[in-house]
Amino acid sequence: QNQQAIAVLNEIILVITGSKIDVMQLTQQHLKQISAMELKKIALLICYAFKEDQPVQQTKQCHVEFLHALIPILTTKKPIFTIPQRCPADLKQIYEDLCAKFQVQVQIQSFNFDYLQIINKLPALFQYKKLKVVALYKIEPDKFQFQFQLKQINNTHFLLQFFNLNKNQPQEINLQRNFTTQMFVNGVQLKVNKAHTSFQTQLTHNYFDFQTLPPQFKFAALFEAFKLSPAQIFQQLLEKPHKTSNFFIRALKLQIEPQQNEDELDVESESFSLISKLTLKKIQYPVRSEKCSHFNSCCCLEEMLALYEESGQLKCLVCNQIVQFEDLRVDATGYYFAEQQKTGIFAISKNGDVTGGSNDVDAEESGW
C-alpha cells in the first residue's frame, strides 16, 4: 500500500462530499449514497491525480462500479498529478489546491465552462465570430500566455474578459473588468483600453504575454469580434418591440431613387421629410430610452456609441442618465410628432394619413 495514494484518495472524497470516508473501508454501498454529480467529480479528480482514463459511460451506476473497481488498485500506486488538457472550471481550483497540499505544482492552462453565460453578459454592440478561452491560473507568475491564429487579423476586434469563479456557486461567472481591444495596423502591438486604464503588450510568435495584472483576475476569455455598424445596430432596434407604426418603418427603409417623378415625390413628401431628417451627414436615429423617454435622435447614435466604447456605459445624451441597450426603442412616430410640436391622441391610417392631435402646447413643456 502507498500511504500518499491513500491520503490523496481520502482528501478527494472529503473535499467533494464533505464527509470523512476511509478508502480502505469503502464499499459499493458507500458509493451509492454519494450523489451522481459528486461521483463524477471524484472520478475526474482521481483520473487527474493518478493518470487514469475516465469512464466512457457517465451514469451514476457506471461511476459507482468504476470507482469500486479502481480505488483498491490505486491504493498501491503513486499519484502522478497530471496536468489535464481540459478541466471543468469548478474543479480547477480544487485540483490545484489538492496538488499544493501534497507539495506538487500544477497550473491548468485550459478549462471549460458555460460559454453562453459569458456571451450573454457581454455588450450587445458586438457580433461575435469565435471564442477563445484561457486560464490565468494562480497569479504567482504574474502573467499568462495564449496562442491564436493570425489569419485576417487586420479587420478583427478582440474583446478580452477577465473574471473570477465564485467558489460557493461554481456555475456563476463573476465578470470583473472588460477591455475592448484594438489591433494596430502593423499587427504586432495590441493596445488595451478601458476608460482611463491602458497598457500595451507585444505580440511575439503568435503569443500574448500580459504582465502585472491585478491579482483578482483569475481567468480570462478572449473573444474575436466584429463591431456592428450604427446601421446594423439600428436594424436590431427596428426588430425589437417598438412604438413605431408600419408606415414610419417603411419610411425609414425607403430609398429615394433618381428616376422617381415629381408627383411621386409630392405623394410621399411626408416620408421624404422624415427621411431627410434621418439621413443627414451624421445619421440621426429616432431612438429613445424607456427610462427617460428623451429622443437621442436630437444627437447622434454614432456619438452615443463612441462614448459607450470610451466609458463602457451607454448614456442618454440629453439627461446623461445611464441606460441599457435593452432599454432603447425606436419611436419614429413620436419623433415625427415632436418635430411638428404636436400633442394629444393621434390615429395613423395604413397609408400614413394622420388625424387628431394639436400643436397648442410647447414641445419642451410636453415632455418630449
Provide the pLDDT for residue 309. 62
Largest CA distance in the chain: 98
Q: Could you tell me if 218 and 303 lie in one domain?
A: no
* pTM for the structure as a whole: 0.39
Provide the pLDDT for residue 83. 76
Task: Specify the DSSP class assigned to residue 204.
Answer: B
d(CA 251, CA 269): 10
Q: What is the pLDDT of residues 83-135, one digit of tens each?
A: 776 677 678 778 888 888 887 766 555 555 566 666 666 666 666 655 555 54
Helix (H, G, I), strand (E, B) or coil at 126: strand
Q: Which residue has the higher pLDDT, 279 or 24?
A: 24
d(CA 181, CA 151): 17
Measured over the CA atoms of residue 170, residue 173, residue 177 and residue 182, the dihedral's sign is positive
Q: Which three cell numbers stand for residue 34?
A: 454519494
Provide the pLDDT for residue 42. 92
In this prediction, residues 340-353 reach a mean pLDDT of 54
d(CA 88, CA 100): 18
CA-to-CA separations, 332 to 228, 253, 298, 320, in angstroms, rounded: 22, 12, 12, 21
Provide the pLDDT for residue 44. 92
Q: Could you tell me if 198 and 250 lie in one domain?
A: no
Q: Could you tell me if 348 and 257 lie in one domain?
A: yes
**Within 13 A of 188's CA, how many CA atoms are on the CB side?**
2
Amino acid at 158: F
Residue 111 β-bridge partners: 87
Amino acid at 148: F
Q: Could you tell me if 19 and 135 lie in one domain?
A: no
Q: Could you tell me if 91 and 138 lie in one domain?
A: no
Q: Could you tell me if 348 and 253 lie in one domain?
A: yes
Amino acid at 253: K
Helix (H, G, I), strand (E, B) or coil at 191: strand
What are phi and psi for residue 201, nearest 5 degrees? -145, 155
Give exposure, 198-227, as e/b (b: 16+ Cβ within 10 Å): eeeeebeeeebebeebeeebbbbbbbbbeb
Helix (H, G, I), strand (E, B) or coil at 304: helix
If residue 70 lies in a helix (H) or strand (E), which one and from where to where? helix 60-74
E-only strand ranges, the chain: 87-88, 111-112, 126-135, 143-147, 157-165, 173-183, 189-194, 197-202, 207-211, 219-227, 287-289, 314-315, 322-323, 328-330, 343-348, 354-358
pLDDT of residue 191 exceeding 90: no
Q: What is the pLDDT of residues 291-320, one digit of tens each?
A: 776 666 544 566 666 666 666 677 777 788
Q: Could you tell me if 178 and 78 lie in one domain?
A: no
Q: Please report whether residue 108 resides in a domain.
A: no
**Residue span of the structural domain in which 137 resides:** 113-227
Q: Could you tell me if 173 and 92 lie in one domain?
A: no
Domain-ending residue, one of 227, 251, 281: 227
Q: What is the pLDDT of residues 209-259, one digit of tens each?
A: 444 445 555 566 666 666 666 667 766 666 655 444 554 455 444 433 334
Domain-ending residue, one of 227, 244, 273: 227
Domain count, the chain: 3
CATH number at residue 346: 3.30.40
